[in-house]
Amino acid sequence: MSRKLRIWETALRDAHQSLWATRMTSDMMEPIIPTMDAAGYGILGVAGSAVFESCIYYLAEDPWERLRMIQKSAPNTMKNVYIRSLNVLGWDLFADDVFPLTIDTLTRYGINCINTFDALNDTANMAVSIKATKTAGLHAVGSIVFSESPVHTDEHFVEKAKELVALGVDAVQIKDSGALLTPDRVRTLVPAIRTAIGEDIDLHMHTHCTSGLGPLVALESMPLGVDVIHTAISPIAHATSNPPTELIVQEALNQGVDIDVDINKVNEIAEHFRQQAIKNDMPIGAPVAYDPGLFRHQVPGGMRSNLEKQMQEIGLHDKLPAVLEEIVQMREELGWPIMVSPMAQFIGVQALLNVVEAERYTTIQTEIKNYVLGWYGQLAAPVDPNIMDKIADGEEPITDRPGALLEPMVESFRAQHGPFESDEELILAMHFKPKLLDEWREARKVRAGRPTAKTPVATLIKELAHRPDVSYVFVEKGSTRVSHVA
């Protein structure tokens, strides 16, 4: 069967999350979004938990206003938000009633596609989000997170795909966020899942370039039955990001694949983000060498860079090789958890503790204990009995779906912490601490009164005008030096 290939552009979410620590501002993206809307993309990925967090923690932006702006600038293209199966847009466990509240609210901002994923590929955890998505009349994508282990076989992933189809998804995504797929594995996995889900369900390929194989993986999947390939515009592609849009689109055109993307507009989009990278001193993505070590520890690229930085700051950088080897051992002991958020972060911290303390598992994170007790869902394989005894400390694992054990919380939260001016305010209050939101609101007020100038120097001068406490300024670039004493 000849299939039309669609492109899911990740520039507005995953690409800058991977390369720019989710620091792309709305001002950096707004001018080019109408062109993106006219470029023929199948889907624009626009938000997820990291975008909400970055807006609140770092950018002093309103994430809802960003979504409104994107909808106004790109009304014709499907727009997606990622939802975590147990955590919605955050890290805490949320009751089932938070999902329809959040998804219904997102629809007001032109979001018409929800991609649900679960860190353990426990589709029972995903059912509530998928049901809420379908009830709202949105396009439901269910993700299968790829991993390498003795239990993560093609047969395992095929069963997960069938479970997602039974839940009523419109599309199944192979989510290779760890960049662990190889061209050889693609040749067996993609046809197997394509056959399992049938011809009426879309199949997505989502991979990263951390191993150096991302572009090859995406190209290899193209003739094997995928409907959608996730790509990043080239200035924010490669490295730990996604394969470059231009490469995939051009190769599809070369092969005579049915694709609607306008390569000229794609080149215009690329130039815009290239200039934004230069203007804002952001890295431009570049191909990386093949890294076989990644397939052992499976630590995602973004997490590894953060881990290295944190260990450097506390004087433990020399312990990094030992921590990576500890992660390898821990995955086997803990039933082969997938190195994806939030599990990757939990395992990384526990591995560091195991390395620096006299005895492994002397200190046990609450999250690791909750994992072995089933509070994140069904494990892919049993935990080593000796390790289980040490971590569980006599507690019995739960046998039900975690969300089913939590009381409905929306109305009780509203009564206890309200009143709230809107559902948007309620959702933010459920995901972020009151003190943080107060600081964010104050930062928003300050930011509103300080328009960003056209050049970095002009922006600096405008900022200093609001800072009477600054008495001395020294600026140096190359051989040019400027100083001022108030």
Given this model, what pLDDT does residue 98 score? 98
> How many C-beta atoms surround the C-beta of residue 149 within 10 A?
17
Q: What is the pLDDT of residues 164-195, one digit of tens each?
A: 999 999 999 999 999 999 999 999 999 999 99
Q: How many domains does the chain have?
A: 3
For residues 273 and 394, membership in a common domain is answered with: no
Q: Are residues 378 and 465 in the same domain?
A: no
Report the DSSP pairing between strands 113-117 and 78-84: parallel
Specify if 415 maps to a domain. Answer: no
State the distance between the two ends of the chain, measured CA to CA, in whole angstroms: 73
In this structure, the answer to whether residues 325 and 179 fall within a common structural domain is no
Judge if 312 and 275 occupy the same domain: no
Q: Does some domain include residue 450?
A: no
CATH at residue 321? 1.10.472.90
Domain termination site, one of 403, 419, 448: 403
Amino acid present at 234: S
**Domain check: are 269 and 303 in the same one?**
no
Whether 41 maps to a domain, the answer reads: yes
Task: Tell whether 191 and 301 lie within a shared domain.
Answer: no
* Domain annotation covers residue 411: no
CATH code for the domain in which residue 10 is found: 3.20.20.70
Buried b (16+ CB within 10 A) or exposed e, 78-91: bbbbbbbbbbbbbb
How confident is the model over 277-324, as pLDDT tens digits?
Answer: 999 999 999 999 998 989 999 988 777 777 887 888 889 989 999 999
Same domain, 18 and 115: yes
Mark which of 224, 245, 280 sits at the end of a domain: 280
Q: Collapsing DSSP states into helix, strand and coil, what is residue 343?
A: helix
CB 132, CB 103: distance < 8 Å: yes
- CA-to-CA distance for 332 and 16, rounded, in angstroms? 32
Task: Report the alpha-carbon distance of residue 41 to residue 7 in Å, rounded.
Answer: 5
* 246 three-class SS: helix
Weakly modelled stretches of the chain, pLDDT under 70: 1-2, 449-486
Cα–Cα dist 427/101, whole Å: 8
- Going by C-beta distance under 8 Å and a sequence separation of 6 or more, which residues neighbour residue 197? 161, 162, 164, 165, 172, 203
Looking at residue 116, its pLDDT comes to 98
Which uninterrupted H or E stretch holds 306?
helix 301-313
Could you tell me if residue 302 is inside a domain?
yes
Instruction: Identify whether residues 31 and 108 lie together within a single domain.
Output: yes
Same domain, 349 and 252: no
Residue 1 falls inside a structural domain: no
Q: Token pair for residue 217? A: 């993986």
Do 139 and 118 belong together in one domain?
A: yes
**Model pLDDT, residue 394:** 93
Whole-number Å distance between alpha carbons of 167 and 170:
10
Domain assignment present for residue 424? The answer is no
Q: 148 with 98, same domain?
A: yes
Out of 368, 403, 438, pick the residue that ends a domain.
Answer: 403
Contacts of 27 (CB under 8 A, 6+ apart): 452
Residue 449: per-residue pLDDT: 66
pTM score of the predicted model: 0.90
Q: How far is CA 16 from CA 242, 248, 270, 290, 396, in A?
A: 10, 19, 13, 22, 41
The pLDDT, as a whole number, for residue 1 is 44
Helix axes 154-166 and 123-135, enclosed angle (nearest 10): 30
Q: How far is 377 from 120, CA to CA, in rounded Å?
A: 7
Instruction: Give the residue numbers spanning the domain of 472.
Output: 456-485
Is 470 part of a structural domain of the chain?
A: yes
Q: What is the pLDDT of residue 480?
A: 63
Q: Which residues, at least 6 apart from 186, have a Cβ–Cβ distance to it below 8 Å?
A: 217, 220, 221, 224
CB-based contact 11:232 (threshold 8 Å): yes
274 shares its domain with 303: no
Find the helix or strand (DSSP H, E) in which 6 lies: strand 6-9
Spell out the alpha helix ranges (H) of 179-254.
183-197, 214-221, 245-254
